[in-house]
Amino acid sequence: MERSPHYDESIARIKQEHREGAPLAESREKISHLRQEMILDNAQCARLLTEFIDDNPAATVEQFKEYAQGTNLIIHPEITANFIANLSIDRNRTKRAITTLNKSKQAGEALFRWLVPDWDNTSNQDPITIEAYPLSVVAYLSDSDFHKVDTRTNVGGFYNDRLEYERKKFPWGKEEDSCPVIIVDRDTARPTTTEHEKGHAENKNFQKAVEHRAVWVRMKPQLKNLRIETGGDYQELLKNLMANALSNAKNELLADLKAQPNLWNKMQDLLQRGGVYDYFQHNYQLAPEIYDEMWENYSQILNRSFQAIDAIMGIYQHLGLEERGQLFRWVLAQFPIDEWPEELEKSGFSPEARALEKVGEDRYVLAKLADQEVKNGVWRPRFIDKKIEGSMFVASVLENPEEATQTWKNVDIADAAVDKLKGQLQANQIKPLWVFLDQYNQEIAGLIPTDEDGPQTPEE
Question: Would you say 90 or 256 has its CB closer to Zn ion?
Answer: 256
Helices 349-375 and 434-444: crossing angle in degrees, nearest 10, is 20
Rounded to 10 degrees, the C-alpha dihedral 345/351/357/363 comes to: 160
For residues 235 and 242, what is the distance between their CA atoms, to the nearest angstrom? 11
Span from 63-71, 125-133, 180-188, 244-252 in contact with Zn ion (CB under 5 A): 244-252
Which among 31-39, 245-253, 295-303, 346-354 is the span making contact with Zn ion, rule CB under 5 A?
A: 245-253
CA-to-CA separations, 192 to 167, 200, 241, 259, 292, in angstroms, rounded: 33, 13, 29, 5, 33
Phi and psi torsions of 205, nearest 5°: -70, -35
Nearer to Zn ion, 152 or 304 (CB): 152
Number of chain positions touching Zn ion (CB under 5 A)? 2
CB of 244 to Zn ion, least distance (A): 15
- Smallest gap from Cβ 211 to Zn ion, in A, equals 19
How far is it, in rounded angstroms, from Cα 141 to Cα 128? Answer: 5
Report in angstroms how near the CB of residue 196 gets to Zn ion at its nearest. Answer: 6
The residue among 257 and 425 lying less far from Zn ion, judged by its C-beta, is 257
The CA distance from 201 to 160, in Å, is 9
| Shortest Cβ 277–Zn ion spacing (Å) | 8
CA–CA gap between residue 332 and residue 261 (Å, rounded): 13
Q: 101 or 255: whose CB is closer to Zn ion?
A: 255
State the minimum distance, in angstroms, from the CB of residue 185 to Zn ion. 14
Amino acid residing at 382: R
Q: For Zn ion, which is the closer residue by CB, 82 or 244? A: 244
Contact 380, 388 (CB under 8 A): yes
In angstroms, give the least distance from the CB of 180 to Zn ion: 14
Span from 201-209, 246-254, 387-395, 405-413 in contact with Zn ion (CB under 5 A): 246-254
- Cα 93 off chain centre by: 27
Rank residues 95 and 147 by Cβ distance to Zn ion and give the closer one.
147
Measured from the CB atom, the residue of 145 and 252 that comes closer to Zn ion is 252
Q: Which stretch binds Zn ion (CB under 5 A): 105-113, 149-157, 225-233, 249-257?
A: 249-257
DSSP 219-243: --GGGTT----SSTTHHHHHHHHHH
Here's the x/- map for Zn ion, 202-241, by CB under 5 A: it reads as ----------------------------------------
Least distance in Å: CB of 265 to Zn ion? Answer: 12
Nearer to Zn ion by C-beta: 106 or 326?
326
Q: Taking the alpha carbons of 85, 349, 10, 24 in that order, is the dihedral positive or negative?
A: negative
- Within 250-279, which residues bind Zn ion (CB under 5 A)? 252, 255
What sections of 71-103 are H helices per DSSP?
77-102
The least distance separating Zn ion from the CB of residue 449, rounded to whole angstroms, comes to 50
CA distance 212 to 81: 14
By CB under 5 A, name the binding residues for Zn ion: 252, 255
